[in-house]
Structure formats: structure tokens, C-alpha cells
Amino acid sequence: MKEQSKGIFELTNLSRLFRYVKPYRSLFYITVLLTLLIAILGPLRPWLTQYTLDNYILNSDKKGLLVFSALLVGILILQSLIQFFYTYQTNRLGQYVIRDLRVGLYKHILKFRMTYFDRTPIGTPVTRTVSDIETIADIFSDGLIVIIGDILQLIVIIGCMIYLDWRLTLICLSTVPLLIIATNIFKNKVKKAFSEVRTQVAALNVFVQEHLSGMRILQVFNRQNEEMNAFKNINREHMKANIKSIWAYSVFFPVVEILSAVSLGLVVWWGVGDVIDDRATFGTLVAFIMYINLLFRPMRELADKFNTLQMGMVSSERIFDVLDTPTGQRTEGKHTSSNIDGTIEFKDVWFAYKGDDWVLKGISFKITAGETIAVVGETGAGKSTIINLITRMYDIQKGSIQIDGINICEYDLNFLRSKIALVLQDVFLFSDSVYNNITLDDSKISPEQVEESAKLVGAKEFIDKLPGGMEYNVRERGTMLSLGQRQLISFIRAYVRNPSILILDEATSSIDPESEALITNATHVITKGRTSLVIAHRLSTIKSASRILVLEQGGLIESGTHEELLLANGRYKRLYEIQFQLTT
């Protein structure tokens, strides 16, 4: 029952995969046609050989021999040509299909809401879009069509053999039951070994990827030896899995060779007797010897092709799994307007990342347009979470968030986000030029704007000093820049968009006094004249804010100006003393 339902499941996956073939229907039909031609042309040669032998060679008919030899050569050339087109077209089809599939998959992944990435290790979508898809191409180039071709060819060959001499055919096929048993054992062994190989490849990938990113930690803490041991273990498992599949192949192929040799021996032994007794012609015997070779090749390869197909099906199942994962509801309104003022209001907002673990517990506050508000609180209080909510990276469970008096869910999401600029706690830079990291490929931003913003933010000087200036490639995650420099770039990124609302999550880590001065100045520049919500860790930012909100364990416990809050002698005062007293 279980096997059967799995079979049906694979069929639905296969038909779903074939939807991707639709745009290339004509190409597909061509490959099927070529398959048919190959299936017919292959078995034709032994037949012609038999005919030539019996009718021309044994009768010493030189003219007929010449004609038929030419025919044989012609067929051979034609077959090679068809084989070439066939290989080329099937592979092309496979590549087209996976290109479209990959685009569809990436498009889907881009739509996933943050909750998906919270639950899924980043390696998963990476392996799906990169390597899993590759095996799907094999379904077309090396699996399905080839299997159909091979089966067809087997049918044609056996048909020809029966037509020539049914008794010799039976003798020839007498080893087939053994072959089927061997094939089955092989198929199961390889399937198991392959799935193990895939698991080990994934493990190796994840390990190397993650640990190379953390190289600095490994070296500083002298973990190289332990690292080597862990790596050796994973690598050993990887090798073992591969050797298992190699073993299956090395045993299976000689077994097929032996079986085909046995068939050959039997045919020769029996056939020679027939020829002597005049029950069969010499040509038939030669044709049968050729057929045995033709017959066992597809039989041997079928087992392998079925594995390829199976692997491809496993991969497509995984990919359809991702495609079937809902991206998360994005209830989005249509509201847009020419501009927004930037009034933000939280009304009794409750939010949990998952279940009942409330991270924000009934928060209410209002920021009037143009005001700069600072949010302070201990680590884990829920400050960065507020940002995630305003930009709708996550949706709240209770309460409402309004911008300009309109619930943020009613805004067109792209419009809403285009009005908000973010500077995040940990800056993320792509391995690209400084310029592209600022514009993020937004063609509406002109080079002049970027220059101007860089100057105003106070980052022009250091950018100009970089080799190539704006064109300098910051490498993966901006490793070629200092922390302060990376932050300044993210300031320009926000400033150049001239947002109505600016949200700044100040980095917790402190930087050198010189960069600190630059950042302080930049903060001042980008918050000026627009609604700003600053999650503040610097005293200067806190002091220049028109109001301070104090957050504790997801609740808003105090609010007011710096002086008011100090006078109130409450939580803020203690926070202030712990964080800043010693440094001021």
C-alpha cells in the first residue's frame, strides 16, 4: 500500500515536472522522435549483416555485397549523427527545464517572509537552488527519455530475434531471470548508497560553509586541530558512502558481463549445431551474436538509468516541497499616496515571534512627524523587534500600528517600504562595489545623489581613499572595511533614499573615537527633519532625541526627555548610570 501510494506520488511529481517541459514541447517531441529512430536503427544492423552473409557472401555475390556494405556504413553514419543530435537535444531540454525551475524557485524564496528564514537553516534553500536542481536535468538527459529509448530498443531487438529464430531467442534469454535478480539487488544497493552520499555531501557542505565563515574564531581560539578532526570524520563518512556505491557498480557490471558471456556461449553451442543440421543459417548465428551485445548493453544500463530517474525524482520532490511551502500571508492593502508625513502610532501592540512567547506586551506610543525618538532598554528588551514590525517583516498578533493614521496593513507593501529607510544593528554588505552597496541596483538613484549623500554623511573622505573609490569591491559581507566604515556606508544607503521615516538601530559595539565622531555627525545629518526612530546606544543620540522611550522585557515603562527621566529617578536613571556614567 505504502509503495503504491509512493508510486502515485512520484507520478504526480513527474507530471508536475512535465509542466516545465511544455514551453519546449517541440524540442521534447524531437527527442522522442530521435529516440524512436535510434531504437529502430540499432537492431537493423545485425539484421542486415545476417542478410548480407546469407545472400551475398555465402553466394559470392560481389555486387550485392558492395551495395549492402555501403548500406551498412550509411546506417552507421546516420546512427552516429542521430546519436549526436539526440545527446545534444536531450541535454538542452534538461538545461532549459532547470533554468526555468530555478528561476521559479528563487522567485518563490524571495517572497518568503522572515519566519521562514527563522526556521530554516540557510543551507537548505541554497542546496535546493544549486545542487538538487542539477539532478533534475539528468532526468531528461540521462533518465526518462533514455529509459523509454532503451525499453523500445529491447522490444525491437527481441522482436527481430524472435522473427529470425525463436528457439535461439529463448536460449539467448535464458539468463535474463538471473539478470533481473542481479539488477534488483544492484538497484536497491545503489539507491541506498546514493541517498547516503547525498546526506554526506550536504553535511560536508554545511560544515565547510559555516566553518570557513568562522575562520577567524577558529584561528584565534586555536581550534585548528579539533577542526581537522571534525572535518576528517565528516570527510571519512563521505568517502565511505561513495565507496559503497562504487562497490555496487564494480560488482554489478562484471556479473552482467558473465551472464552475457553465458548467453553467448549457449547460443554458439546450440546455434552451431543448428547450422550444421541446416536448421539455421550461418548469417542468423552471426546476427544473434551481434544481438546479444546489443541486448545486454541496454539491460545493464537500465538499472543505472532507473537510479538516475529515482534521484531526480527525490530532488524534484524536495524542490516542490519548497515551492509548496506557503510564503506566509502578506495581507497587503492598496493604499499609496504621493508622500507620507511620517506620524507613527503603536496602539496596544502585542507581538510574539512564535507561540505565546510575547516579546512586546501591549506597547503604545506615538511619534509625530519630524520628531526624533530614542528607544533604550536592556539587551533582549525588544527594541530591534519594533523595527521588524514597522517594516512589516513580521505581523503583530494584537493591537495596531498606524502610519499617518492608516493601519500599516492597508498600505501597498512596496510603497510603505519605499518610504522607510533602515540602518541596521549589524550592517550587511554584499560582495560588490561600494556604489552598488549604496544604491542596491536602484537605477532611480543617480551617481550625483550618491556623491552628495556621501559628502553630507561625512564618508566621502574615506571612500575616496579606497582603491577605486566608489567602485571598490568590499568583498563578502564587507570584510575589507572596518566596522565604522561599514556603518557609514549603510548610513549613505539610507540617506540617499530620502525616506519619510528613518529607523536607526545603533550598533551595540563601540568603535574608535574618530569613527565615533563621524557616526555621531552622520546620525545627526540623516535624522534631521524627518521622523526618526533611533534605537540608541550612544549618549549623544539619546540626548539629542526629543523623547526617550524606555523598554523593559517587552513593556514600555518610562518615557520623556533625558532630563525628565533623570529627575524621575527610575529605570532610565539606573540604565544611564550603568551604561554611560563611567564614560562621561
Ligand X SMILES: Nc1ncnc2c1ncn2[C@@H]1O[C@H](COP(=O)(O)OP(=O)(O)OP(=O)(O)O)[C@@H](O)[C@H]1O
User: Which partner in ligand X, Mg ion, none is near 205 (CB below 5 to 8 A by kind)?
Assistant: none
Residues 400-439 binding ligand X (CB under 6 A) are 425
CB of 377: closest distance to Mg ion in angstroms? 9
Q: How far is CA 539 from the centre of its chain?
A: 44
User: Which partner in ligand X, Mg ion, none is near 375 (CB below 5 to 8 A by kind)?
Assistant: none
Q: Which residues, 6+ apart, have CB-to-CB distance to 427 below 8 Å? A: 478, 483, 486, 487, 489, 490, 507
CB of 143: closest distance to ligand X in angstroms? 40
Q: Taking CB under 6 A as the rule, which mask of x and - marks residues 370-399 in contact with ligand X?
A: -------x-xxxxxxx--------------
Distance CA 514, CA 525 (A): 17
DSSP-derived secondary structure for 535-567: E--SHHHHHHSSEEEEEETTEEEEEE-HHHHHH
In the chain, the N- to C-terminal Cα span, in Å, equals: 75
CB of 145: closest distance to Mg ion in angstroms? 54
* Strand spans (E) along 383-523: 398-403, 406-407, 420-423, 501-505
CB of 508: closest distance to ligand X in angstroms? 6
| 83/384 with CB nearer Mg ion | 384
Give bridge partners of residue 423 from the DSSP assignment.
504
Strand-strand pairing, 398-403 and 344-352 = antiparallel
CB of 249: closest distance to ligand X in angstroms? 46
| 376/403 with CB nearer ligand X | 376
CB of 384: closest distance to ligand X in angstroms? 3
Written as nine digits, the cell of 28 is 521534447
Residue 209: HSE in the Cβ half-sphere, 13 Å Cα cutoff: 12
Residues 367-386 binding Mg ion (CB under 5 A) are 384
| 117/249 with CB nearer ligand X | 117
Question: 284 near 196, Cβ under 8 Å?
Answer: no
221 binds ligand X (CB under 6 A): no
Which helix (H) or strand (E) segment is 133 a member of? Answer: helix 133-138
359 binds ligand X (CB under 6 A): yes
| 324/357 with CB nearer ligand X | 357
Q: What is the CA radius of gyration of the chain?
A: 36
User: Which partner in ligand X, Mg ion, none is near 385 (CB below 5 to 8 A by kind)?
Assistant: ligand X
| 114/204 with CB nearer ligand X | 114
Q: Taking CB under 6 A as the rule, which mask of x and - marks residues 302-341 in contact with ligand X?
A: ----------------------------------------
Q: Helix 62-111 to helix 25-52 angle, to the nearest 10 degrees?
A: 160
Question: 207 near 237, Cβ under 8 Å?
Answer: no
118 binds ligand X (CB under 6 A): yes
**What secondary structure letter does DSSP report for 433?**
B
CB of 575: closest distance to ligand X in angstroms? 11
User: Which partner in ligand X, Mg ion, none is near 353 (CB below 5 to 8 A by kind)?
Assistant: ligand X
CB of 442: closest distance to ligand X in angstroms? 27
Q: How far is CA 421 from the centre of its chain?
A: 29
| 334/354 with CB nearer ligand X | 354
User: Which partner in Mg ion, ligand X, none is near 380 (CB below 5 to 8 A by kind)?
Assistant: ligand X
Distance CA 87, CA 84 (A): 5
Q: How far is CA 69 from the centre of its chain?
A: 53
User: Which partner in ligand X, Mg ion, none is near 159 (CB below 5 to 8 A by kind)?
Assistant: none
CB of 491: closest distance to Mg ion in angstroms? 17
List interacting residues with ligand X (CB under 6 A): 118, 353, 359, 377, 379-385, 425, 508
